[in-house]
Structure 1
Amino acid sequence: MPGPSFDDDDSAAGLVAKGAAGDNAAPLSITEISQLLKRTVEERFGFVKLRGELSGVKRAASGHFYCSLKDEGAVIDGVMWRGNAERLGFRPEDGIEVVASGKLTTYPGRSKYQIVIERMEIAGEGALLALLEKTRQRLAAEGLFAPERKRPLPYLPRVIGVVTSPTGAVIRDILHRLADRFPSRVLVWPVLVQGQGSAEQVAAAVRGFGALAEGGAVPRPDLLIVARGGGSIEDLWGFNEETVVRAIAESPIPVISAVGHETDTTLADYAADRRAPTPTAAAEIAVPVLRDLTATLDEFALRQRKSVMRPVTLGRERLEARVARFPQPEALVAAKAQALDDLAERLRRGLADRAGKGRERLSELRLSPAMLQRGLRDAQQRLNSVRLVPALVTRPLAERGERLAALERLRRSLDPKAPLERGYALVSASGHPVVSSRAVAAAQPVLTLEFADGSVEVSPLGVSRSKPRPVAQAKRPAQDDLFE
């Protein structure tokens, strides 16, 4: 179908837009054509994966991330919304070659097409190493890796802080090695050592240990160990993040970095005060060997004792030299010892002579009955001469008899049955004396009246209570009142 002809003067020179003959298509608005283009691009390129070099990297205050991806012949704008940008495993910078995955769309406000990036990764290990070297040079230029910033480690730390995963083999190796070398108090700050958020947790742990107050409830460590086992460069990338490097460099506590194995090197190793090839080696660097320390102390103690005893030894040698010039002690007392031996011999002989003479005198004595009777008579005479006064014995007996008689009189006066001889009677109920009229009413049906010559049992009937009277005015009731 041929289009409208522009040879007509009315069509070419018209000021007001008019529809051409046979043309039933209304003109599109800019928004409409933009929406058509957007829908076409999104339907044709729903999900793409692009490889290119980052350029014009910037992060908005809202958290969204904007950049451009380019290669040798073209460039495309890219945007990553805040949720995905926060999950990035590295810090995007200009010049990094990346692989970006997302949806291709248009931006009508600028008549451009762009990619909404959902995931972005560094394009290969070479690009990752290039980013690592670029970051290292930038931080080194700030002086974070300068040797003069390195601090000496404490020789014997009382408390050691460990920043690592609480479930891995690293913490077990460190604790086992510390127990073998020098048992110490260990505080573990559990963190992620790999993946999204690991760098932030490690940096927060290092700063948290440094913020502990001296003498607080939680003791402040004297030394920190930042440790992780071996792995690929992607696994260890969290320890290359700038936030971890700055936290280690700013730590007020000396830090040992023990990330990976001997061949693994991270930026945390450059910032730390000491690098250990393995976590086990970090424990060996942190503390000395207790046995070696004990042996050293024993050696020092031995040297100290020798130094103290040296003047004594020299004095003893001088004293022995002087003593050698003195006469022997045996020679000084030899004369006295000989005289003592002579006196001892004379004493022995004197005792023997004295015993012999006594034995002779004893043999001369003769014991006979007459001699024994004579001695008995002499003893009887001496006994008769001793006079015993009877009053010494009788007076105490008389005094005790008087006290006993007084007690007997008191007993008789207090005997409750003594008045029975004078005509009184003892009233009792169930074996207990009755001493008031109320007791008579409350008593059992039988009362016992005890006289001097016997007792009778009676039953109280018709007992009426009267007002109690004083004992001094009360009259003894007739015995007949108790009977019916």
Structure 2
Amino acid sequence: MDDLIDEGPRGNVGEYTVSEISGAVKQALEDRFGRIRVKGEIGRIFKARSGHLYYDVKDDRNVLACTTWRGQIAGLSVQPEEGMEVVVTGKLSGFGAQSKYNLNVDAMEVAGRGALLAMLEKRRAQLAAEGLFEPSRKRPLPFLPDVIGVVTSPQGAVIRDILHRLGDRFPRDVLIWPVAVQGRASAGEVANAIRGFDALRPGAPIPRPDLLIVARGGGSIEDLWGFNEEVVVRAAAACTIPLISAVGHETDTTLIDHAADRRAPTPTAAAEMAVPVRADLIAAVTALGARQARAAAMAVRSREQRLRDLARGLPRAETLLERPRSRIETLGHRLPAALQAQVSRARLRLGALAGRVVPGDRLSRERARLDGLARRLEQGLRDRQREAASGLAAQSAGLERLARRGFVQPRRDLERVARRLTPAPLARRRGRDADRLAGLLRRLSVAARGEHAARVARLEALDRLRESLGYERTLERGFAVVWDGNRVVTSAEAAQAARQVQLQFAGGPRVDAVTGGPAAKRRKAEPEEDQGTLF
């Protein structure tokens, strides 16, 4: 049994730890496949929040995991898209923690012209579906822009051709934004230049262009690829300044051509689209001026002839004035007689009215009679008022006596006693007098209230005038009042004679101050106390 259990010697098989195996595999991969190029199709793409990019490069049978770190993404000539056939360059390494290996990619290029064209067509269809190429979004170009912005390389023949053509046709101010027109940095610089021009505001130190030209000479599809990038197309579509795309030669087409407001076959053609020919405009304006002068002369001659024709049909001035002149002469002869008749009628009316006028002594008698009636009426009213007051006092005394006797029904007993004590005519008379007295009291009350309101309004107005003319308003304007006790100091001599004065400013109590009088002169020998002198 022990012989069966004994397994015997293990031979020469080596024993390793997991970390040793992982390190050996990683070392073997890096030594055998240090820096390599791999061709394949991009599959799944994932961008982490840290900024790192993870994706797969695959063929028809296998998949290779690839990684591009955040700092390496800007160095890629193309941005990876799913389905793109590319050639990636990087370093192969192992990841022992998960028993995996991957390729750290630091360079990427499209694998062949066919793949580029396929990717270009796919991107064009995607952007077109978003409406970036719609004709309704395109704006008309200005007829004669004051400032033209040019996005291109400062070296090369393109900028010289544009400037030369603009100078020949119609010189304009040109702002050049230098960019790289090919290579890895091309797309970002062109997009930033378009957005930078669009961000300028009117009235700024750098003038805002009225028209933009994005220009580049001809080249292969790889050379022009920066103008096919999505960031450039979106910047051109979002630009609020009219934009001309002049990328490549006549047969070259990029995606910025579809997003621009106008496509020029060459940079020179873009300059021709930007401005008209100055000589042609001068000739056209001169021709229009000549036509206007001829038309005005013809209109004047036509109206002169029409006026002469109408003048021949009119009668002579003597004939037109003959009837009005004779009528005026007739009326002039009749005018003296009419004036005399009018004066006679006025005299007759005046005599008739004079007979109806009341003599002066009669007016005096009537005035004296009215004055006497007024005095009698006033005396009668006073007598009636005294009589009514005495009657009311008697009735009040009777009511008090009845109240002391303990009447249960005061109103009914009062009416019975009043009927028994007062004759009917006298009662009616007193009732009318009481009504008249009540009316007079109401009128007196209304008049008293009106007089009181008027006096209150007058008093308030005078108080507002007092406040506006008072010295407190003057203090609010920055002035001050100088007091010597309860006396106001109004001159410099009085202020110097005073031993100590007070200053009153707006909104606060009086402030003590030392003047330049005798007391201050005694203090001049003591410099530490010579403070606060006002005069």
Q: Same fold (TM over 0.5)?
A: yes
TM-score between the two structures when normalised by the length of structure 1: 0.61
Q: How far apart, in 2, do the equivalents of 1:90 and 1:41 lie? A: 27
- 1:362-384: CA deviations, max 9, x gaps? xxxxxxxxxxxxxxxxxxxxxxx
Alpha-carbon distance between aligned partners in 2 of 1:131 and 1:62, rounded to the nearest angstrom: 28
| CA 1:22–1:312: 2 relative to 1, 3 Å | closer
Question: Partner of 1:49 in structure 2?
Answer: 37
Tell me by how many angstroms 1:318 deviates. 6.6
Q: Equivalent residue for 2:243? A: 255
Deviation at 1:314, TM superposition (A): 2.7
CA shift at 1:22, angstroms? 5.4
Q: Provide the alpha-carbon RMSD of the alignment.
A: 2.3
Structure with greater contact order relative to length (CA < 8 Å, sep ≥ 6)? 1
**Residue in 2 aligned with 1:93?**
81
Q: Show CA shifts across 1:366-424 (max 9, x none).
A: xxxxxxxxxxxxxxxxxxxxxxxxxxxxxxxxxxxxxxxxxxxxxxxxxxxxxxxxxxx
Quick one: distance in 1 between partners of 2:89 and 2:141?
47
How far did residue 10 of structure 1 move?
A: 5.4
The amino acid across from 2:251 in the alignment is T
Q: Look up the SS of the partner of 1:257 in the other structure.
A: strand
Tell me if 1:155 matches 2:143: yes
CA deviation map 1:207-251 (0-9, x unaligned):
111111111111111110011111111111111111111111000
Aligned to 1:177: 165
Q: Distance in 1 between matches of 2:225 and 2:294?
A: 57
The correspondence for 1:9, drawn from 5, 8, 11, is 5
1:199 is aligned to 187
User: What is the distance in 1 between the residues matched to 2:235 and 2:286?
Assistant: 41
Matches within 5 A, 1:321-336: none
In 2: Cα distance, 1:116 partner to 1:267 partner? 31
CA separation in 1, counterparts of 2:65 and 2:225?
Answer: 27
Q: Return the offset for 1:109.
A: 2.5
The amino acid of 1:28's aligned partner reads: Y
Deviation of the 1:66 alpha carbon: 1.6
Give the match's secondary structure for 1:55. Answer: strand
> Per-residue displacement from partner, 1:328-376 (whole Å, max 9, x unpaired)?
xxxxxxxxxxxxxxxxxxxxxxxxxxxxxxxxxxxxxxxxxxxxxxxxx
Change (3 A) 1:264 1:105: same
Q: Percent identity?
A: 57
Quickly say closer, same or farther: Cα 1:42–1:7, change in 2 above 3 A. farther
Paired residue type of 1:9: I
State the Cα distance separating 1:288 from its structure 2 match. Answer: 0.8
CA distance in 2, matches of 1:195, 1:31: 43
Q: Which amino acid aligns with 1:150?
A: K
Provide the residue aligned with 1:135 in structure 2: 123
Give unpaired runs (5+ residues) of structure 2.
313-535
Letter in 2 for 1:119: A
Structure 1 portions without partners, runs of 5+: 1-5, 12-19, 325-484
Task: Please identify the structure whose Cα radius of gyration is greater.
Answer: 1
Partner of residue 38 from structure 1, selected from 26, 30, 39: 26
Partner of 2:16: 28
2:251 and 2:46 mapped to 1: Cα distance?
35
Q: What is the TM-score with the length of structure 2 in the denominator?
A: 0.55
Question: Separation in 2 of the partners of 1:22 and 1:78?
Answer: 41
Q: CA deviation at 1:25?
A: 5.8
Give secondary structure in 2 for the equivalent of 1:109: helix
Aligned pair partner of 1:305 in 293, 303, 311: 293
Q: Check 1:191–1:175 CA distance in 2 against 1; reply closer, same or farther (3 A cut).
A: same
Deviation string, structure 1 residues 264-297 (Cα, Å, up to 9, x no partner): 1111101100000000000001111111111111
Residues paired across the two proteins, number:
311
Distance 1:89 1:232 in 2: 15
CA distance in structure 2 between the partners assigned to 1:253 and 1:46 by the alignment:
50
TM superposition shift of 1:174: 0.5
